[in-house]
Chains A and B, each alone.
Chain A
Amino acid sequence: MQIIIITTIAITVIGAIVGAGLVFIGNKYKVEVDEREAAVRAELPGNNCGACGYAGCDALAAAVAAGEAPVNGCPVGGGPVAEKVAAIMGVTAGATEKKAAFVRCKGSCEVTKNHGTYVGIRDCRAAVNAGLSLTECDYGCVGLGSCAAVCPENAIHVVNGVAVVDEGKCIACGLCAKACPKHLIEIKPVAKRVAVQCSNRDKGPVVKQVCTAGCIGCSLCVRQCESDAIAVEGNLAHVDYDKCIQCGKCAEKCPVKVILPPRQG
């Protein structure tokens, strides 16, 4: 009986001393945590895609709280998240544009042909490295879906031989752009729909041989454009999305209809 009492007392005393020590040390070496960081982190989507340029949502939250990253730094969350983060940080959110991946190739099975059958690893990069050009066009979509394989949101698919982006699902993380061996994918604002769906830099007659929808570099679009937003470089037209006013005159005139027209209404 006595032993039990002594043990209980001893443990209580030791516990009290250690506890007091811990409280003291805890106060002395306290790390200041910005409460806003945790709050910002809670508002971020949390899929750690890295599209913001930081090593995940935690890192972005820390950077936002430290004032190093803008409150609209998360391209995935877009406007709604930016507003919430701005409220936490006590600033007003700037306008955020929703961006999405865009495939600069229209080479579906109707407009261009494959030559040969590829047997091997089902991966565009492996196929390109095998030295085979599977499609007639050397610049176009290979269609084996390396982009689809890396997409975290299931937003890009190979449809009829060419990759197609679901802009609603796309979070503009850019992983597909990195995976594409032909460098066909760019990240552009969703609101700016007018864009050239081709990456072929060959001269017109060569393009015509391989694809009925390829940009032939005729410069008709450049002449139509009133806002100087479209230029032909290396036999390929490209739209400057900052300057484009979405009038759609270039798309109307394009002889091969490779420029997407602006959204109706």
Chain B
Amino acid sequence: MKKTFFGGVHPDDAKALSRDAKLTSFLPRGEMVFPLSQHIGKPARAVVKKGDSVLAGQVIGEADGFVSANVICSCSGKVKAVEKRRSISGALLECVVVENDGQFTKAEGFGDRRDPAKLSKEEILAAVKAAGIVGLGGAGFPTHVKLAPKNPDAIRYIIANGAECEPYLTGNDHLMREKAGDIVEGLQILVGLFPGAKGVICIEENKPEAIAAMEAAAAGKKDIEVLPLHTKYPQGGERSLIQAVAGVDFPVKSLPADVGCIVQNVGTVYAVQRAVCFGEPLFTHVLTVTGEGVERPMNLIVPDGTSVAEIIEYAGGFRGGKEPKKVLAGGPMMGFAMSSIDVPVVKTTNGITILASDPVEKAQLQMTACLRCGRCTTVCPQGLMPQMMAEAWEAGNEERFEVKLYGLDCIACGSCAYICPAKRPLTQIFKQAKAEIMAKKRAQAAGGKK
């Protein structure tokens, strides 16, 4: 029995659609849009203005504050405007719009290989920060912040997250198959930052090729281990991974670093390797375009800022020319629906899933009252009681939701809503509840300061 965590579900992974498609580089033609907020934390500050010429790899948005990240241009051309545009999440964000000249001329200052062993810790962290690297698993937390925990000596594990438990997506799978050596080197750089740490590469066992490739690359390296994990959703969640790797159940309100772990997506580890060994900033990333509603599911390396519409067109357009029911940014479990495809992809967009049918719409028609069967409780990876939480929230009992039922610990993985036989929109209720409670707390904190 492979290592795993408590709870979880087994959705149809649908990875067969794009499993055999090799990584292909895609160079877009149209205008490129770079939102200045592609990460958690404060938006970056634009350092270019209308009419400026920019090159691929040039910093166009500078990190503003500690928890913030640089925004890098991925093409060459002229800045058309710095204005509000609709982002992939649907919100209007301040963006730098660049007219792409199609040349992709690279800026100077990167490309030459340097030896990471000769760089000091500070130089490595500075390189990561300058490259604008954020967590590519989806959350987009600035990596240089994550790599600077309060207790560097207590870090035992650096976990490279290649679980890719999200159904449909296969980008990380291919990245591990094709760039195994680079990922191992990147992980070694990260392990080198912490004296007591060991690198663990976690891969779900439904990716045998990736496991084989990583094992071959890590062979003979003492501080790196490849750990195949049981295939179960949400195995790739930060907390689920730590439970599987370190065997610790971590207390509520603690961070991974508090239990001696740092989790980085394999995409992030690869970006770190590029940044440290070549000084290359993060401006392309791996993206899977897949689903029943697209002609040719593919694994692509796309420049940030490419329009979703252009990517779909490159993948052969919608299947049969029919407009699909739903286009998701990300996979079907954690991803969110888009209201328009004329939006740019950002650093954290690791998938575009095009669904020919919408399960949510069907579920809504079948929704009934809670049956009190308790299946949500058995699958919750956080050990929460979703049915009680939903009941408390719907009854307006915020305190019970937050204090007694630990509602804020929900990671919104969607397992409860997936398993619910009454088809209740549990995850959406929790997302809303969390957002409202957090908004209230922020307002209180702001009021307290005055």
Contact = CB atoms under 8 A, between A and B. Distances in A.
Interface of A: 115-116, 119-121, 123, 125-126, 129-134, 138, 202, 206
Interface stretch (B251-259, B269-277, B298-306, B333-341): B333-341
Nearest to B87: A131
10 contacts: A115-B340, A116-B337, A116-B340, A123-B432, A126-B432, A129-B436, A130-B431, A131-B336, A133-B90, A138-B92
Contacts of B436: 125, 129
B393 to A, nearest CB: 11
Given A131-B90, A138-B92, A125 B337 contact: no
Closest 8 CB pairs of A and B: A116-B339, A129-B435, A131-B89, A133-B90, A126-B432, A129-B432, A132-B90, A119-B360
Given A116-B340, A121-B425, A129-B431, 17 more contacts: A115-B339, A116-B337, A119-B337, A119-B364, A120-B364, A120-B428, A121-B428, A123-B432, A125-B432, A126-B428, A126-B432, A129-B432, A130-B336, A130-B428, A133-B91, A133-B92, A202-B84
Residue from the set A126, A131, A132 with the largest chain B CB neighbour count within 10 Å: A131
B361 interface: yes
Interface string B401-437: 0000000000000000000000001001101100110
A131 to B, nearest CB: 4
Contacts of A130: 336-337, 428, 431
A116 B84 CA distance: 20
Contacts of A125: 432, 436
A119 B361 contact: yes
B435 A119 contact: no
A119 B357 CA distance: 13
A123 B428 CA distance: 11
Interface in B351-383: 358, 360-361, 364
A121 B119 CA distance: 52
Given A138-B91, A202-B84, A206-B84, A120 B425 contact: yes
A131 B428 CA distance: 11
Contact of A134 (B339, B364, B435): B339
Contacts of B428: 120-121, 126, 130
Contacts of B89: 131
A200 to B, nearest CB: 11
Contacts of B337: 116, 119, 130, 132
Given A120-B425, A121-B425, A125-B436, A132 B339 contact: yes
Among B89, B91, B337, the most chain A Cβ lie within 10 Å of the Cβ of B337
A246 B355 CA distance: 54
Contacts of A119: 337, 358, 360-361, 364
B127 to A, nearest CB: 32
A211 to B, nearest CB: 14
B121 interface: no
B179 interface: no
Residue in B338, B364, B428, B432 whose Cβ sees the most chain A Cβ within 10 Å: B432
B86 interface: yes
Among A119, A125, A134, max chain B CB count under 10 A is at A119
Contacts of B361: 119
A38 B299 CA distance: 75
Interface string B63-89: 000000000000000000000101001
A131 B340 contact: no
A157 to B, nearest CB: 23
A125 B429 CA distance: 10
Contacts of A133: 86, 90-92, 339
B402 to A, nearest CB: 16
A121 B360 contact: no
A209 B425 CA distance: 34
Nearest to A210: B92
Nearest to A133: B90
Contacts of A120: 360, 364, 425, 428
Contacts of B431: 129-130
Contacts of B90: 131-133
Contacts of B84: 202, 206
B418 to A, nearest CB: 15
A123 B358 CA distance: 20
Contacts of A115: 339-340
Contacts of A131: 89-91, 336
Contacts of A132: 90, 336-337, 339
Contacts of A206: 84
- Most A-side CB within 10 Å, residue of B86, B336, B339, B358: B339
B339 A121 contact: no
B201 to A, nearest CB: 32
A213 B338 CA distance: 26
A194 to B, nearest CB: 30
A206 B432 CA distance: 29
Contacts of B338: 116
Interface string B327-355: 00000000011111000000000000000
A133 B340 CA distance: 10
Contacts of B91: 131, 133, 138
Contacts of B340: 115-116
Contacts of B336: 130-132
Contacts of A129: 431-432, 435-436
A254 to B, nearest CB: 25
A166 to B, nearest CB: 26
A129 B429 CA distance: 10
A202 B339 CA distance: 20
A25 to B, nearest CB: 40
Contacts of A121: 425, 428-429, 432
B113 to A, nearest CB: 41
B80 to A, nearest CB: 15
A116 B336 CA distance: 13
A133 B84 CA distance: 14
A130 B89 CA distance: 9
A125 B338 CA distance: 18
Nearest to B92: A138
Contacts of A138: 91-92
A188 B259 CA distance: 55
A55 B155 CA distance: 53
Nearest to B89: A131
Nearest to B83: A206
